[in-house]
Chain A
Amino acid sequence: MTHPEAADVATVARVAGRIRANVERVIEGKSEVVSASLVVLLAEGHLLLEDVPGVGKTMLSKALARSIDSTVRRIQFTPDLLPSDVTGVSVYNQQTREFEFRPGGVFANIVIGDEINRASPKTQSALLECMEERQVTVDNATYFLEQPFMVIATQNPVEMEGTYALPEAQRDRFMARVSIGYPVPAAEIAMLTSHTEFNPLDDLEPVTDGAELRKLCGIVGQVHVAEAVQRYAVAVTSATRQHPELLLGASPRATLHLVRAAKAYAALHQRDYVLPDDVRALVQPVLAHRLLPSAEAAVSGRGTSAILEGIVAEVPVPEIRS
């Protein structure tokens, strides 16, 4: 097993910097959101963008996809979208007299699932297998998805009309959920200038490709996680399971995602080791969407973010001396 050199993590940071600069040409003033997207990209996870319509969810996912020279597909989730539209379908070829697989929208390096919660649960669940196992099984045949594979899903808040809430199982498969939020007035004015004259997306050139991204992901995977940090991550997720205001705590997969995201976060900061602070910084985006508040907490208006804040403030960082 090779350990990443300082130069390797520097490469990660450099490439990520290029992608970030590219994306920020389109999305102004949202660097934390862009960072979270990069973390998820490098950690080989899937990203859930949740916000009200019109704040740039799709724009962000498109900009991210365009910055990477790879296959990109966009699936517009609608109530009448069928699972086969996502995964693909076997069609009988009269000439060859065989069933032939026509890949669905998921067969790409970056899949943009737009307004994912407008599709029926059946269609939503079609994404499940692909996201976790990075493969598609149709008619007993299994098709592997090419690396890198990342689903960037956008959704409107569940209170909006015509939406189906994502099931817990599917939410759990997204590494992080990010809200974009409204831009600050200055950014909004700048947007008026840049977005009214032409579409900035058209100018976006890829700054990296799938092969380099695969290499970067490999480097991120080798980032060191000390025992103290592992303990800390576990302590945080276990605390969510025991918290009286939470009906459902974080799953072991959540812990895994947390640590993997922390590795990417560390690499983005040119470190080949993870700090407890990295874990802390990612607790909200990685864990918040997986938790279910208890009825009392929901009634009293305490959201999962507030509860998580309390947990992070309480759980001590283990001090294992070197």
Chain B
Amino acid sequence: MRGRSSFAYALLLSAIAGATTWAALLSWRGFTVTTGRYLAPLLVLAVVVAGTGAVLRWIGSPAVVTLAVQTLLAVALLSNEIGGNPLPVGATYDQVILALDRALDSAQVYAAPIPADVPTVVPLLLVGGAFFVVVVDFLACSLRRVPIAGLALLAIYSVPAGLTESGPGIVAFVLAAVGYLAMLHLDSREHLLKWGRPLGPDSSSPWTDDNPVLDAMRVGAGRIGTAAMACAIVLPPFVPLLDLDVFGIGPGDGDTNIEIRNPRTDLRGDLEREADVPLIRFRTDDPSPSYLRVAVLNRFTGVEWSSGDRGVSDDNTSTGQVPLPQGLSDAVPRTPYDYDFEAFDNFESTWLPTPYPATSVVADGDWRYDEDTMDFIAVPDDLTTQGLDWQASGLDLDYGTTGEYFRDSGIDAVEDEFLDVPGGLPSIVRSEAVNATRGAISDYEAALLLQDYFRASGGFRYDLDEAPTGIGGEAFSTFLDDSDDKGRVGYCEQFASAMAVMARMVGIPARVAVGFLEPQPLGNGEWEYSSHDLHAWPELYFEGTGWVRFEPTPSLRAEEAPDYSTVPVDREPETEPTSNPSTSTPTRRPPDDQNEPTRTAAPEEDLTSEDGSADDGIDWTTVLVRVGTGLLVLLVLLLVATTPRTLRRRARDRRLAGGPEELWDELRATATDLAVPWPDGRTPQEIGRVLVEHLGERGATDRPERPRTGPDADPEAASALERAVVAIEHARYARPGTTTPPPGLAEDVRICCASLEAGVTRRIGLRARWLPPSLTRRGRTNADQEDLVGV
């Protein structure tokens, strides 16, 4: 009867734990619009984990084994769900990793809820959810630490609380809270019942109502639970909220205002807007102002461009002179102009629009510039350009039309990030890049050919309506695909992104700039940028000129490309050039050589990849580095985990080799480790009398939950302890010089320690082995005791 009821109990607790976790995971609905795709598999997973756990616990398997089995099952289910095969090896593994990678990218790039038309974040939610299902089950059911399991549930609940607009939702909270209270209730009831038969008329059935212990328990749990839930519902408005931004998920869509906070190449909405909203008005002595830069995007994830990691120093303020951009030669002719900007109230940007290159910027508020990109970011959270006035001076650089200032691309002069190409891009990108730049004898010429490819030779069209959505993955290959009906149509983002990526592929540092294309003259030296002027373009780096703007967007949108970028290129024949003009050195490496190990640019196609349509996503160097790092981390973890044990063992060996005092210390350390009381300030005999009550039977094959202890449990250990006590007494109190420790004392102490260890529960024994408290806690010294005597 006992076994049956305990199985029912195990099943009930497991089921409630699984259901509670799943209910808490409902709070993640705000992350994606396809909620069923993660909730349904997780429900299955929760059922499997709960069922396995209940059965395994019922047959008495150790908690670790239960956890391992549950984890394996969860991994198999996840692998089946994400990769289509329960065994996460080979292609399935690659697929799972790729899916997770994409999900992470999506999570970093898009605001929640993440739309259905971008790579889904569901794999991420699945893995996270499975983790929590297993963890909660392990804590609440295997370890019987229900209160701690509450922390895991809280963690589930707190993720959306910081990240989604809607928050976790009251339904998920109430369901999870009810489940959690039920778990607490069951757990405490089990604890109470363990004390013995509950008093009451029908003590045999714990389910009946007329049982005073259960009634008391129910009332107590009810009160605590009600109070806790009431607090949880009432208190939050009064608690200051932390601004969580774990995944860097951006804010939601704007309304009538134009917001640029986390600049992304997501201008489409603004460009498609019917009304052309004026955003910035300015006055300048420049007779033909054009581009105005807002922000620079450095990092391409394969899906989106983002501003990357920025570090701005305290000195880089917008209070006057700013340094000239990197790589710009003094020989380039320049004309300075001044600008006086004024933003309208509907232009909210945390990035300050400035001409490029600027020589001085004066704006109110804490705006800082990044020396690498020379764009200005607002440091305080609430600082935007809304209604802001600011002054800037800029240079109009005349690079000429002969390319005389353009030297090599200088890949070593800039951060590696500007050359990073993520894995997993469609292979057409690389082949098109190679084709478009074939015959170029310098980086400059390659850049010219690339721009020409987009503006003219490639047959691209600018069409905002027909352009595919997005710039990564499928959209990228469609955009470049000549044979596709919808191919070679796009808008500025896609042109800028494609040119930047392809420039990187042929070894030219590139990035995407976001800003305004062309202002409308208002007369009297005043100009105005409006929402339809928003634009994106690539910037490429060359020694001698620094970062230079290119304009791949066809003339329907951007009428003119910069003069220096429209130089006609005489394509060289396929053979190697024999001689070259001095301005363009023949050192340009063909893109096939780009697979040097320090670069993450992908090598040529990987035949093992699934169907060859994706760009070789696997960079073996990266894989090796990652595996190596993983192993290293594992090694470090292993070291950290085993260090206390090793230290303890060394200390034990050292003490066991020492005299009676050292041996006595070892006994004390063992007692400390095993949480066996060691009375301080007592005589060895008294300590021995305490210890002997904790001696357990050594070598007991089936160790019970609470081992029998006492002198009778292990008489040999008891007499060994007696000998140890006599030895320490002799060492301490006998006439000096007459003490010779008896042989075999170390063995006696070893027997005592083993017997003490056999007398504690398995959990304490494990803790003593892996986290021995004696390493940090030292026995009381004598210094304070001598004061009592006053000597």
Contact = CB atoms under 8 A, between A and B. Distances in A.
Interface in B117-170: none
Nearest to B734: A273
Interface residues of A, number: 25
A277 interface: yes
B786 interface: yes
Of the candidates B681, B732, B733, B739, the one having the most CB atoms from chain A within 10 angstroms of its own CB is B733
A202 interface: no
Contacts of B730: 273
* Of A272, A280, A318, most B-chain CB atoms within 10 Å: A318
A316 B730 CA distance: 19
A315 interface: yes
B785 A316 contact: yes
Interface stretch (A113-121, A133-141, A225-233): A225-233
Interface string A272-287: 1111110010000000
Interface string B751-791: 00000000000000000000000000000001001101111
Contacts, number: 68
Interface stretch (A15-23, A171-179, A186-194, A234-242): A234-242
Contacts of A277: 683, 685-686
B733 A231 contact: no
A183 to B, nearest CB: 29
A231 B681 CA distance: 13
A316 B680 contact: yes
B729 interface: yes
A318 B785 CA distance: 6
Contacts of B788: 235, 238-239, 315-316
B739 A224 contact: no
A318 B789 contact: yes
A317 B789 contact: no
B661 interface: yes
Contact of B790 (A229, A238, A316): A238
A321 B661 contact: yes
A320 B782 contact: yes
Contacts of B734: 224, 226, 272-273
B706 interface: no
B736 to A, nearest CB: 8
B243 to A, nearest CB: 55
A3 interface: yes
Contacts of B680: 316
A80 interface: no
B685 A272 contact: no
Contact of A226 (B660, B732, B782): B732
Nearest to B735: A224
Interface in B397-418: none
Contact of B729 (A3, A275, A316): A275
Contacts of B660: 322
A319 interface: yes
Nearest to A315: B788
Interface string A193-237: 000000000000000000000000000000010101101001100
A11 B682 CA distance: 30
Residue among A228, A276, A315 with max Cβ neighbours from chain B (10 Å): A276
B348 to A, nearest CB: 72
Interface string B650-665: 0000000001110000
A280 B790 contact: no
Contact of A280 (B683, B731, B782, B789): B683
B731 A317 contact: no
A239 B738 CA distance: 32
B552 to A, nearest CB: 83
A224 B737 CA distance: 12
* Most chain B C-beta atoms within 10 Å of own C-beta, residue among A272, A277, A321: A321
Most buried by A among B681, B729, B730, B789: B789
B683 A273 contact: no
Given A276-B683, A317-B682, A317-B683, A226 B733 contact: yes
Contact of A317 (B659, B681, B790): B681
B786 A231 contact: yes
A249 to B, nearest CB: 14
B323 to A, nearest CB: 69
B726 to A, nearest CB: 10
Interface in A1-48: 3
Contacts of A228: 732-733
B732 A321 contact: yes
A300 B731 CA distance: 44
A229 B684 CA distance: 13
Contacts of A226: 732-734
Contacts of B736: 322
B786 A318 contact: yes
Nearest to B782: A319
B785 A319 contact: yes
B730 to A, nearest CB: 8
B136 to A, nearest CB: 48
A322 B686 CA distance: 19
A224 B738 CA distance: 11
A317 B681 CA distance: 5
Contact of B685 (A224, A234, A275, A321): A275
Nearest to B662: A321
B735 A3 contact: yes
Contacts of B731: 322
Contacts of B782: 318-320
Contacts of A229: 733
A234 B788 CA distance: 9
Contacts of A239: 788
Nearest to A4: B735
B729 A272 contact: no
Contacts of B681: 315-317, 319
A55 to B, nearest CB: 31
Contacts of A321: 661, 732
Interface of A: 3, 224, 226, 228-229, 231, 234-235, 238-239, 272-277, 280, 315-322
26 contacts: A3-B735, A224-B733, A226-B733, A228-B732, A231-B789, A231-B791, A234-B791, A235-B788, A235-B789, A238-B788, A238-B789, A273-B733, A273-B735, A275-B685, A277-B683, A277-B685, A280-B683, A315-B788, A316-B681, A316-B682, A317-B682, A320-B782, A321-B661, A322-B659, A322-B731, A322-B732
Top 4 A-B residue pairs of the complex, sorted by shortest distance between their CB atoms: A316-B681, A224-B735, A273-B734, A322-B731
Given A226-B734, A234-B789, 13 more contacts: A224-B733, A224-B735, A228-B732, A231-B789, A238-B789, A239-B788, A273-B733, A277-B686, A316-B680, A317-B681, A318-B789, A320-B732, A322-B739
